[in-house]
Structure 1
């Protein structure tokens, strides 16, 4: 199979505020100025943040259409507790606190980012 990687790009209202939020929650680094790449310690791209309405991308043009309908950002991690503590430290609202997902058999919690995108953070597992 051909090597293939997905670099999800989210349109955000405030590029710097969103980048800071993700850096704080996931304890990751970022690169870039006009498009911010959030990267792991190993240099793997986690997410890309893009300002609404720039560069002519059709699905990143109109924030009035709403952000993220039909999208769930599902993060698998060995650092579930640390990430939950990071969220608590910035007093960010939680949609669903840590619980056992009966379908995956893993603990997880869910929240929305600054632009309303829905995130589920789960214990690392293989499919």
Structure 2
């Protein structure tokens, strides 16, 4: 099984560029209302971006609550410090600065993407003693 989360966004290009800068990933679909993001060399995508209100999909109607309410997009990254540096270089909205999560023994940095979704960068579990 592979998890392939889809988030509804207001602007595909803006969101695609934001995630590409943060993760150094590539877009592989390229439509104006939908995108799939993949790491170079991988054979499957890890995140889908979809415009609100197109194709008649349920739950992609206008949002009545803030997008991402109750959702955390959690990404384990091998090169945590580099990912945080990229986030800072792109002036990402950092909600919680890098810190140690003592329960998971790893580093975390919490961000908001351009649509308000919470994105968590995490080093591998057990990375910190």
Normalising by structure 1, report the TM-score: 0.91
Shift, 1:37, TM fit: 0.3
Residue aligning to 2:26: 29
Pairs within 5 Å for 1:28-107: 28-32=25-29, 33=31, 34-41=33-40, 42-107=42-107
Instruction: Indicate the SS of the match to 1:65.
Output: coil
Instruction: Indicate the SS of the match to 2:49.
Output: strand
* Structure 1: runs of 5 or more not aligned: none
Could you give the per-residue CA deviations for residues 31-77 of structure 1, whole angstroms, max 9, x where no partner exists? 12131001012133120000000111111111343211111111111
* Structure 2: runs of 5 or more not aligned: none
Runs of 4 or more, structure 1, over 3 Å off, are: none
How many residue pairs match? The answer is: 123
Q: Is 1:110 paired with 2:101?
A: no
Normalising by structure 2, report the TM-score: 0.89
Verify the 8 A CA contact 2:105 2:125 in the aligned structure 1: no
